[in-house]
Amino acid sequence: MIQDFNGRTAVLTGAGSGFGLECARIGAARGMNLVLVDVQQDALSAAEAELAGTGVQVLARRVDVADGAQMEQLAHDVQARFGAPHLVFNNAGVGSGGLIWENTVSDWEWVLGVNVWGVIHGVRLFTPMMLAAAARDPDWRGHIVNTASMAGLLTPPNMGVYNVSKHAVVSLTETLYQDLRLVTDQVGASVLCPYFVPTGISRSERNRHDEAAAPTRSQQVSQAMTDKAVASGRVSAADVARLVFDAVAQQRFYIYSHPQALGNVRERMLAIVDGQQPPDPFAARPEVGQQLRAALRQG
């Protein structure tokens, strides 16, 4: 566990907005060296200016986390400037909805590239650095936090590509936790599973490299429903960032922004254990399911 953050180094992807930026603000308030990573240059530059103004050391890099070579250069730059990071927040993410058979190969490559390969690169590059630092110093402590989603524990319809990517992050992080326990007590891991929180991810198409196809009806419906859910959320990105730092300090693995949603997770797990059909995701709010079915069956 990390309880004293002062003078420690944090690497944060998706640091230009949302959870990444809010965690960077907390890190700055606690005296951490900050490595800010984002693909959107204007947001990154604004974050760099703000956080450098607090007096902490800041290294900002425009990086596409899906690109292995760019991530390798980032890891080299971090090692050269600060040494092994104490906190790695593999947080960059994008969203995409629609009926699962309507998603293009490009959709799959984009979402899995950022959401899954971005985390893979962060884990494969920074974990060895952290383990080496721990081997040199028995008092050294580190922690890795990967951002998944409640969609990594559930299977809501009309957002299959995103679900697949976030289930992969949950599995990857649970395995990371178990693997770390085999070799060290000095480096921990956590998975962040937020629900609908305003972060900007619902508009992540703005940073897509390729040209997306015209959205299908199901993708338009998914976007509208996501926007509505996010807009009605009462938990902020800053609230979630505080939960992240609390979890790191307490060595808590699962981080939930909306623990009330765990009832749906329990129902899903019970259905798996009992060999039942997947439960109705709209059982608690049948009107939402009715609206979605009606929207998709029009025309």
Closest CA to 238 of 226, 227, 246: 246
Q: List, for residues 193-236, the tens digit of each pLDDT value.
A: 999 887 765 555 556 566 677 888 888 888 887 777 677 678 99
The answer to the question of residue 158 being in a domain is yes
Q: What is the pLDDT of residue 201?
A: 58
162 catalytic? Reply is yes
Look at residue 129 and tell me if it is in a domain. yes
Q: pTM score, two decimals?
A: 0.93
Structure tokens at 207: 């940073």
Asked whether the beta carbons of 147 and 90 are under 8 A apart, the reply is: yes
Amino acid in the structure at residue 137: D
| Inter-residue contact 240 to 194 (CB < 8 Å) | yes
CATH number at residue 120: 3.40.50.720
Alpha helix stretches (DSSP H) within the chain: 18-29, 41-52, 68-82, 105-112, 118-136, 160-183, 217-231, 237-250, 262-274, 286-297
297 in any annotated domain: no
Describe the crossing of helices 286-297 and 217-231 by its angle, rounded to 10 degrees: 150
Note the pLDDT of residue 190.
Answer: 98
Chain segment 5-48, per-residue pLDDT in tens: 999 999 999 999 999 999 999 999 999 999 999 999 999 999 99
Coil, helix or strand at residue 155: coil
Distance between CA atoms of residues 65 and 20, nearest Å = 14
- For residue 73, pLDDT over 70 is answered with yes
φ, ψ of residue 215 in degrees (nearest 5): -65, 140
Report if residue 164 sits inside a domain. Answer: yes
**Four-residue CA torsion sign, 209, 200, 3, 143:** negative
Q: What is the per-residue pLDDT across 105-121, written as a single tens digit (0 to 9) for each?
A: 999 999 999 999 999 99
Can you give the pLDDT at residue 115? 98
CA dist 77 and 61 (Å) reads 9
Q: Is residue 143 part of a domain?
A: yes
Report yes or no: 111 and 33 within 8 Å, Cβ to Cβ.
Answer: no
Structural domain contains residue 268: no
Q: What's the domain count of the chain?
A: 1
Average pLDDT over residues 167-188: 98
With b meaning 16 or more CB within 10 Å and e meaning fewer, what string describes 259-292?
A: eebbebeebbeeeeeeeeeebebbeeeeeeeeeb
Q: Is residue 278 part of a domain?
A: no
Range of the domain at 123: 9-260
The answer as to whether 270 is a domain residue is: no
Structure tokens, 57: 């050391």
